[in-house]
Amino acid sequence: MKTLPPDQLTRIISVLDLTSLDDDDDEARIEALCAQACTPYGSPAALCIQRRFLPLAHRCLSQAGLRPQVRLASVANFPDGASDARRAVRDIEAALDQGADEVDLVMPWRALLQGDASLAAQLVQACRRAASGKTLKVILESGELQSDVLVRQATRIAIDAGADFIKTSTGKASVHATPQAARVMLHTLAQHNPGCGFKAAGGIREPAQAQHYLHLAASILGPAWPTPERFRLGASSLLARLIHPDQADPSGY
């Protein structure tokens, strides 16, 4: 596979949330992730990591001159999407205490499957208040919602609750991001709040996938819409695949 032209590499990398959220993550892995954020084609939008590693990532990125342009993200209510709002709020508060600029929150998607939209809405609203002043991305776990109707409903709940981004997936479920779910989410944004951002995550490993999601967003919301402020791609192995397409390990988030 050939390397993409530099302008395309720069564009994709600029919207990338470089991610490591594995149970066996350690300091060495996070330091290596931070080192990857310095590329010949610019830096990613953010690093998304477990909150205990946020201070380490801040030091590494600062030493490399990559702060604050590379933002620090962590997760809440992750990966299960439980229905306990107090737990989710505590997760957010802990992430902010450790220096997070952004929080990716898992919506309690099982509540939607059970017909309880109010529970999902209340949890996201409580977390929006807890994350006041910070970027809140709401993960719908679209692959588990099983229908376009529920994906659309979850998108509306997140938008109405004040999410800054809606995000497809945790990357931990059996079904990750799909073009169909992304299409439903983006059309819902276009209709109700094009100022809210979109993040595709989970299973995005190939440059062609990244290009497809960028094209999809641009075709629905306009060619100027997909910027790092409104469009992200969550991935771990994609960056290496972009820069060294013949050497990268295609496994990962």
For the cut 80, the answer to whether the pLDDT of residue 198 exceeds it is: yes
Tell me how many domains the chain contains. 1
Looking at residue 2, what is its pLDDT? 77
Question: How much is the pTM?
Answer: 0.96
Of these residues, 101, 104, 137, 164, which one is catalytic? Answer: 104
Catalytic residue among 167, 172, 246, 249: 167
Give a yes or no: residue 250 inside a domain: no
Annotation says 167 is catalytic: yes
Average pLDDT (69-79) is: 98
By CB atoms closer than 10 A (0-12, 13-18, 19+), residue 251 is exposed
Residue 200 scores a pLDDT above 80:
yes
As a dihedral over the C-alpha atoms of residue 143, residue 182, residue 180, residue 161, rounded to 10 degrees, the angle is 60
Tell me, yes or no, if 104 is annotated catalytic: yes
Chain segment 203-234, per-residue pLDDT in tens = 999 999 999 999 999 999 999 999 999 999 99
CATH number at residue 88: 3.20.20.70
pLDDT of 250 strictly over 50 = no
**Which pLDDT does position 253 carry in this prediction?**
60
Q: What is the mean pLDDT of residues 101-115?
A: 98
Q: Is 137 annotated in the active site?
A: no
Instruction: Quick: pLDDT tens for 20-37.
Output: 999 999 999 999 999 999
How far apart are alpha carbons 52 and 72 in whole angstroms? 12
Residue 12: pLDDT above 90? yes
Contact 220, 187 (CB under 8 A): yes
252 is a domain residue: no
Query: At CA 59, angle to CA 57 and CA 63, rounded to 5?
Result: 115
Q: Residues 168, 191: contact at Cβ < 8 Å?
A: no
The answer to whether residue 158 sits within a structural domain is yes
Distance CA 172, CA 196 (A): 24
- Is residue 77 in some structural domain? yes
Identify the domain containing residue 38 by its residue range: 6-243
Assigned domain for 147 exists: yes
Helix, strand, coil share of the chain (percent; to 5): 45, 15, 40
For the segment 77-95, the average pLDDT, to the nearest whole number, is: 98
Residue 23: inside a domain: yes
Query: Considering the domain boundaries, does residue 249 fall inside one?
Result: no
For Cα atoms 129, 144, 85, give the angle at the middle one, nearest 5 degrees.
25
In a domain, 1, yes or no: no
